[in-house]
Chain A
Amino acid sequence: MKLDFPLFPDSASTFAPQLDGIYFFALAVSTFFSLLIAAAVLYLAVRYRRSEPNAVGKREKAGLWLEISWSVIPLAIMLFMFVWGARVFFDARRPPADAVEYYVTAKQWMWKFQHPEGQREINTLHVPVGQPIVLTMTSEDVIHSFFVPAFRAKMDVLPGRYTRYWFEATKVGTYHLFCAEYCGTEHSLMGGRIVVMEERDYEAWLGGAGSATPRIATGAELFAAKSCTTCHRPDSNLQAPYLEGAFGREAELADGSRVLVDENYLRESILDPTAKVVKGYQPLMPTYQGQLSEEELLQLILYIKSLDGGGPAGGAPTSEAAS
């Protein structure tokens, strides 16, 4: 048994001190009120201990002001915590514009990662220190949850849709990665490490991790290889919408409704094209369900996102709501 164990987790991301801040505040409030109640109960229970067997308590006095104050004061404190907590939460969900996108694919019971340059890793993720990183995550089977205590980072990873989470590591080192959502037999072994490195060490590591095709190039190749080009090209005689500049805009659907074109919408358009048909087009597109791996799908989406001419999009905030 290791006796020099920690009582508080490592703090290794820009977000960690932010979360710890509200946690310490809440902890102080909780400790104060717990001690207050405990002290009051003990004091009163001793002070008013029954004096003789038949004694009864005094009749209660009206306590309207007491009732009001011990409703309003806790409420005010809690509302303060609520606002603070919500702000911290939104910070954790809004990646900065310069965040670099990494892919995470979870499956029973491993984590697969892909770097922007195309390098792949399993259960270990190397990242540069001081660089905001946004993870686009999906699962191949059940729900998992990406959890790095030292970053105070947690986000569920779902099958059939993308969730995103961002962090910026501040301290070089190796940190635990856990799966926090119960996912079957080896749930507790579905862990790994996040290795935070200096920028140049990371570059060196990337170089040593073998040559790889950048994901965006793979996406472009797939776009041709999977014959998306037969329809989605200006010179195609088959009527299909142009995908240039589609990402981030609203698409108008055949039923008149409008949807935001985000990763989840693109995913659905490829896997289940008839679910949402673009206005003015026939539902001619075949489904690609089962023909693309999660990674290929992500690369295709990356390619489509890049089609607006402005290069690979990385850090646009997206809604995680069900599409």
Chain B
Amino acid sequence: MSSNETAPTNYLNADYGVRSWLFTVDHKRIAILYLIAVTFFFALGGLMAVLIRLELATPAGDLVQADVYNRLFTMHGVLMIFFFLIPAIPGVLGNFLIPIMIGAKDMAFPKVNLASWYVYMAGGLFAAWSMLHGGVDTGWTFYTPFSTAFSNTYVISTAIGGFLAGFSSILTGLNFIVTVHRMRAPGLTWFRLPLFVWSLYATAIVQILATPVLAITLVLLIAERAFRIGIFDPALGGDPVLFQHLFWFYSHPAVYIMILPAFGVISELVSAFARKRIFGYRVVAAASVSIAVLGFLVWGHHMFVSSQSPYAGVIFSLLSMLVAVPSAVKVFNWTATLYEGSVSWETPMLYALGFIGLFTIGGLTGVMLATMGIDIHVHDTYFVVAHFHYVMVGAVLMAYLGGLHFWWPKITGRMYPIFWSKISALLVFVGFNLTFFPQFLLGYLGMPRRYHAYPDEFQVLNVLSSAGATVLGVGYLIPLVYFFWSMRYGKRAGDNPWDAFGLEWETTSPPPTFNFPATPKVTLEAYDYTGRAEARLARTQPVRSSP
């Protein structure tokens, strides 16, 4: 196909102008709106990470003042968690793909879908407003009574930002649940659903059940800070540990709001590039749901040394071990899928394989942290920072980038430069490990997190980490450039450039406004590559009948 050929009508050229985007109810355009927004917030949060790593290159707090540093890591966390990691995969890939993957025309509630983007942007505005006025310095965890009685920064407006982002997340989750229940194409039974749909479904359960608790917590926080109503501050008769319980009751499940969609992406990638059904499809689907459920019962593992009763700690530790099992099972199943597969090393697969390695390390160190004895020493040190970056950046971001590389030709109809994409995947992997592996060592050595200055003996490891961050930064910049470039100059991709399985690959690239010319019928099991190959063979050689 030549690139000057006029494209058939699709969701991108169906209408033009800013209004056609800002008032769209097409789930694919809303996905693009999310893509632009999360990329912006990621860049902003990334910029803060750059400053943090620069500051930590030397032991003295010399680049920025302590107060500035505290605002930097707080805003880095707030932006990355509430405005990037939580909405990224559901908002961009989920919105774009869920209706297509289930053969539907759109989401169940297209206007709610658009509303969720606006609510998210409103939250983003509050966060941005707070930043412009000097930011907030409580850490993204908003621990009381520091946040309610001591900090003199923009706590309330940032909390409102988080509150709104939460509501957006609830609306998205609600829409996914109803869509998956009501709008599946004929023949698409629950156990024929792509695992990406399963994992976003499980995510949606967590989103609508856990996020209201965040909303309540932030409202209570605002009530105490603004009106001096004693809830958390002991000086007002409150209980500061109550805040931690409420906060982690949301924020541990929030980890799964971030990682479950990533699991879904990896299942798609591994299956597509091994051209093989995911090993133990049902087990992998069930694992997502059991993670979602068990994830509600483990929040106290953040509070072993908070003065929480040691007996409560025992239960939280035990349950945390249990929730690790389904995650481990997934890793084993992905690995087993490669066996007797037809594995190709395309860019998305590089991300997926990288994910498996990094998530394994992130998950295992999570088990170490959930072991009560070990946690005494490593709690609130760089060991924790390294652990959750392995999960949040090593896993979630790798999955998001892998997914973006996988579905980019579907989303835009264009291919990005393969060579550069492989280089950047490599840089991201190497840079990531260089940045965060030394932090495990720092943590066990005893360097506490959220430190603006630190003793000399921690410097070498910090310098390594900062150097790695540079590599990582370059790794992220390259895709930013070539994705833009490809929208105009990329080769036309065709409908199914990877010859992958799934309804999204059966429509055109980019898809038309209502996704399919006619509602598709599903006759094959999920990822039935062999079945599809046989069907193709039968079509090309119709005369030979089987005995």
Contact = CB atoms under 8 A, between A and B. Distances in A.
A184 interface: yes
A18 B368 contact: no
A81 B309 CA distance: 20
Contacts of A44: 335, 338-339, 341, 343
Interface in B305-336: 305-310, 313-314, 317-318, 321-322, 324-325, 328-329, 331-333, 335-336
A149 B454 CA distance: 14
Contacts of A152: 376-377
Contacts of A188: 61, 66, 448, 450-454
Contacts of B131: none
A179 B448 contact: yes
A296 B138 CA distance: 31
Interface residues of B, number: 101
A41 B357 contact: yes
Per DSSP, chain A at the interface is mixed
Nearest to A160: B234
A235 interface: no
A274 to B, nearest CB: 11
Given A66-B336, A145-B380, A89 B448 contact: no
Contacts of A48: 274, 338-343
A183 B139 CA distance: 10
Contacts of A55: 275, 342
A119 to B, nearest CB: 27
Interface stretch (A29-37, A207-215, A216-224, A302-310): A29-37
B106 interface: no
A188 B361 CA distance: 28
A45 B373 contact: no
Given A67-B280, A149-B377, A188-B66, A141 B234 contact: no
Most buried by A among B234, B309, B329, B374: B374
Nearest to B66: A185
Contact of B305 (A29, A56, A71, A145): A145
B360 A163 contact: no
A81 B333 CA distance: 24
A70 B446 contact: no
Interface in A60-92: 60, 63, 66-67, 70-71, 74-75, 78-79, 81-82, 84-90, 92
Interface string A304-323: 00000000000000011110
A72 to B, nearest CB: 9
B207 to A, nearest CB: 27
Contact of A89 (B280, B313, B449, B452): B313
A88 B377 CA distance: 12
A26 B371 contact: yes
Contacts of A88: 372-374, 376
B414 interface: no
Contacts of A78: 321, 324-325, 367
A183 B377 contact: no
Given A74-B324, A143-B146, A154-B379, A85 B373 contact: yes
A133 interface: no
B67 A156 contact: no
A142 B148 CA distance: 10
Interface string A18-30: 1100110011011
A71 B325 CA distance: 6
Contacts of A186: 66
Contact of A8 (B307, B339, B444, B530): B444
B386 interface: no
Per DSSP, chain B at the interface is helix
A295 interface: no
Contacts of B67: 185
A41 B444 contact: no
Contacts of A181: 143, 380
Nearest to B530: A59
A111 to B, nearest CB: 14
A115 interface: no
A158 B380 CA distance: 15
A161 B307 contact: yes
B307 A156 contact: yes
A49 to B, nearest CB: 5
B309 A70 contact: no
A299 B171 CA distance: 55
B460 A45 contact: no
Interface stretch (B20-28, B93-101, B236-244): B236-244
Interface in B232-261: 234-235, 237, 239-241
A239 interface: no
Contact of A81 (B275, B353, B371): B371
A22 B454 contact: no
B134 to A, nearest CB: 14
Contact of B317 (A23, A33, A70, A85): A85
Nearest to A146: B305
A70 B335 CA distance: 12
A50 interface: yes
Nearest to A94: B310
Interface in A173-187: 176, 178-187
A288 interface: no
B150 interface: yes
B3 to A, nearest CB: 23
Contacts of B309: 319-321
B20 to A, nearest CB: 39
A184 B151 contact: yes
Contacts of A320: 307-310
Contacts of B317: 82, 85-86
A49 B329 contact: no
A85 B374 contact: yes
Nearest to A18: B373
A146 to B, nearest CB: 9
Nearest to A159: B234
B328 A70 contact: yes
B328 A85 contact: no
B539 to A, nearest CB: 14
Most buried by B among A29, A37, A87: A37
A176 B455 CA distance: 9
Interface string B348-375: 0000010011001100110110111111
Nearest to A33: B364
B146 to A, nearest CB: 4
Nearest to A70: B332
A25 to B, nearest CB: 9
A320 B372 CA distance: 16
A64 B313 CA distance: 34
A141 to B, nearest CB: 6
Given A41-B357, A74-B324, A82-B321, A180 B448 contact: yes
Nearest to A138: B234
Interface in B119-167: 137-139, 143, 145-146, 149-151
Q: Which 5 A-B pairs have the closest CB atoms?
A: A149-B446, A160-B234, A57-B276, A88-B373, A85-B371
7 contacts: A34-B360, A54-B533, A63-B280, A74-B324, A78-B367, A84-B371, A319-B309
Interface of B: 61, 66-67, 70, 137-139, 143, 145-146, 149-151, 234-235, 237, 239-241, 274-277, 279-280, 283, 304-310, 313-314, 317-318, 321-322, 324-325, 328-329, 331-333, 335-345, 353, 356-357, 360-361, 364-365, 367-368, 370-377, 379-381, 441, 444-446, 448-461, 463, 499, 529-530, 532-533
Given A33-B364, A48-B343, A60-B276, 7 more contacts: A22-B374, A89-B373, A93-B310, A180-B380, A182-B70, A184-B151, A321-B309
